[in-house]
Structure 1
Amino acid sequence: MIPEDLYYSEEHEWVRLDDDIATVGITDFAQDQLGDIVYVELPSVGDRVEAGTVVGELESTKSVSDVFSPLSGEVVARNEALDGGPEVINSDPYGEGWLIKLRPVEDDPTASLLEAEAYKALTSD
């Protein structure tokens, strides 16, 4: 399932824009590849992040994977609920399993991101 109303990075993060705030998470494809997520490391509120750079880490029963920021901006929220229940990323990656919220600095934050059809093509065999 690839929601049509989101934007995607080639590193398998999704972005939902609400006015001047971008919510970021990992895609269903990514969580499926990772397996059961057991630990999440995220940036702190107030941190400045650059598009394409590592901003966190997801540890699963299979591996440890970097989380990349799809946008440049300031972290305005982190999903604190994941500290005690990271498995929600597996069960609801596009909802309660979001990772961070950013205030993007780009004039057009979605310019370098993929729309749903392009992401679907990237992830299909």
Structure 2
Amino acid sequence: MRQLGEMVVEEPVAGSFSHFANRYWGPFAGFMSGWNYWVLYVLVSMAELTAVGIYIQYWWPEVPTWLSAAIFFVAINAINLTHVKVYGELEFWFSIVKVAAIISMIAFGCYLLFSGHGGRRRRWPTCGRTGDFSLTASRAW
């Protein structure tokens, strides 16, 4: 990314990284990088929507997976098609929710760790499968 930033500073043009691939590596590299970027984003987006559908169906089994995925697809596209100021404000609030969730998970983990309510303590007297492997692997070195 740093090299891409340097290239943009040196040659500011309207376009993405596929422009630089086209200019410096040839038209085939530009074509492939642009379409590869698009196809991967489509595949990742559909995988995320499928995961949303599966989670929603886990909590509400009567809702079909395709319906919840379609609703989230429309909602995400509506957010992306709004004015830049609205999009930035929404991203700001979404990031606050993410940071609050991470902080609350860390706090809850510390509570479980230090309060003694974390469940039964188990000390691997026989090391278990992972421990046996680690012991064998350490001897190999």
Normalising by structure 1, report the TM-score.
0.21
Going by fraction, where is helix more abundant, 1 or 2? 2
Higher relative contact order (CA 8 A, sep 6+): 1
Which is higher, the Rg of structure 1 or of structure 2?
2
Going by fraction, where is strand more abundant, 1 or 2? 1
